[in-house]
């Protein structure tokens, strides 16, 4: 319920005794006429009350300030509600998306309707003309009535040896050019054209790690670090991440840097006995999905405010 009243006897004082003049009842009503309203507030909104109000963090804080407050003070407890509640968001990705850990956690946090377009083992860029599962081909089958698109991939483009040539930024969106850069151009340009009025968010991949497929880094016996490369392209994972960032910037797409700032890296969880956020050194477990979703939350709230009224 939107409005709850704590201390039932206070409500009786207010509704029954306050109209009386003089006497014990009026005195008590005047001293204790304190009501708590639980109000669902949009972020940054200012609660409005017809009489004096005090914003508190939670119900417990009311007890600390109750007797010191002036009469007829309204306590407003602000409960955070996501802008994305009830909105429809499409998540385009690989197995990390398909597995659902971060997608489901984000949907639970926000109340959004999450549409999972993740397909295991797929790449952002087509490897050849017969590759129909790459992101750059699948985006066109996504629903058009989405309120936001989140793209999260790139780890397989680096991790698999059967991958597209790396190419260069100037490859552009040329149709028959099967390079990583060209695939990114076609994907990002296509998403901008398909969804011109909604946010398209590119989330940089989390660290690839050292236990599955091509190794992002190798920790040597003396604790020094060797940076790994894809055996076909000779490129490091950092170069793949930077290419995604570069092409996204060209199309002025919003970028969330999960690679640098999400707090998720399998490099600190090498070995099954050290697992915290990862199942296997690459894929997120439930705790990892929750961590990523919580990291996404405030940033995507700000994205909403860029595109929609609130």
Model confidence at 272, pLDDT cuts 50, 70, 90, reads confident
For residue 3, pLDDT beyond 60: no
Predicted pLDDT of residue 55: 53
Residue among 291, 290, 303 nearest 43 (CA): 303
| DSSP SS3 for 40 | strand
The DSSP H or E segment spanning 41 is: strand 35-41
Predicted pLDDT of residue 2: 40
88-307 CATH pick, 3.40.47.10, 1.10.10.10, 3.40.50.1110, 3.40.50.2000? 3.40.50.1110
Contacts of 301 (CB under 8 A, 6+ apart): 43, 82, 83, 84
Report which of residues 4 and 306 the model is more confident about: 306
Predicted pLDDT of residue 300: 98
| Tokens matching residue 229 | 């490369």
Q: Are strands 148-152 and 200-203 parallel, antiparallel or unpaired?
A: parallel
Task: Say if CB 299 and CB 256 are below 8 A apart.
Answer: yes
Give the residue carrying structure tokens 């199309």.
Answer: 251
Residue spans of the domains in the chain: they are 8-80, 88-307
Length of the chain: 310
Mean pLDDT of the chain: 82
Q: In angstroms, how far is CA 139 from the centroid of its own chain?
A: 20
The 10s digit of each residue's pLDDT in 91-111 is 999 999 999 999 999 999 999
In this prediction, residues 64-79 reach a mean pLDDT of: 52
For residue 151, pLDDT beyond 70: yes
The 10s digit of each residue's pLDDT in 72-96 is 555 455 567 999 999 999 999 999 9
Report d(CA 222, CA 205) in Å as an integer: 28
Q: Round to the nearest angstrom and report the end-to-end CA distance of the chain.
A: 22
Report which of residues 40 and 145 the model is more confident about: 145
Handedness of CA 86, 88, 94, 99 (dihedral sign): positive
Predicted pLDDT of residue 70: 52
For residue 127, pLDDT beyond 50: yes
Q: What percent of the chain has pLDDT over 70?
A: 75
For residue 41, pLDDT beyond 90: no
In this prediction, residues 173-199 reach a mean pLDDT of: 97
């Amino acid at each position: 319920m939107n409005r709850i009243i704590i201390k039932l006897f206070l409500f009786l004082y207010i509704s029954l005794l306050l109209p009386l003049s003089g006497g014990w009842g009026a005195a008590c009503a005047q001293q204790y006429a304190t009501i708590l309203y639980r109000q669902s507030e949009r972020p940054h909104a200012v609660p409005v009350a017809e009489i004096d109000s005090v914003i508190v963090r939670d119900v417990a804080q009311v007890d600390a300030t109750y007797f010191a407050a002036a009469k007829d003070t309204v306590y407003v407890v602000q409960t955070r509600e996501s802008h994305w509640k009830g909105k429809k968001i499409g998540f385009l990705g690989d197995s990390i998306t398909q597995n659902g850990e971060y997608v489901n956690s984000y949907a639970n946090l926000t109340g959004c309707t999450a549409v999972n377009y993740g397909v295991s083992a797929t790449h952002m860029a087509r490897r050849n003309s017969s590759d129909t599962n790459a992101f750059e081909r699948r985006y066109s089958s996504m629903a058009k009535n989405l309120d936001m698109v989140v793209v999260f991939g790139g780890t397989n483009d680096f991790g698999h040896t059967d991958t597209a040539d790396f190419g260069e930024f100037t490859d552009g969106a040329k149709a028959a050019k099967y390079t990583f850069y060209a695939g990114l151009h076609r994907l990002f340009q296509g998403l901008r054209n398909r969804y011109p009025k909604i946010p398209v968010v590119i989330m940089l991949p989390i660290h690839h790690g050292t236990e599955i497929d091509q190794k992002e880094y190798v920790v040597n016996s003396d604790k020094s670090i060797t940076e790994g490369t894809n055996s076909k392209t000779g490129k490091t994972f950092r170069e793949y991440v930077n290419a995604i960032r570069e092409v996204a910037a060209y199309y002025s797409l919003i970028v969330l840097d999960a690679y640098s700032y999400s707090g998720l890296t399998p490099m600190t969880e090498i070995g099954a006995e050290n697992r915290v956020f990862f199942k296997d050194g690459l894929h997120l477990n439930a705790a990892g999905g929750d961590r990523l979703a919580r990291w996404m939350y405030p940033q995507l709230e700000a994205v909403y405010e860029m595109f929609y009224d609130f």
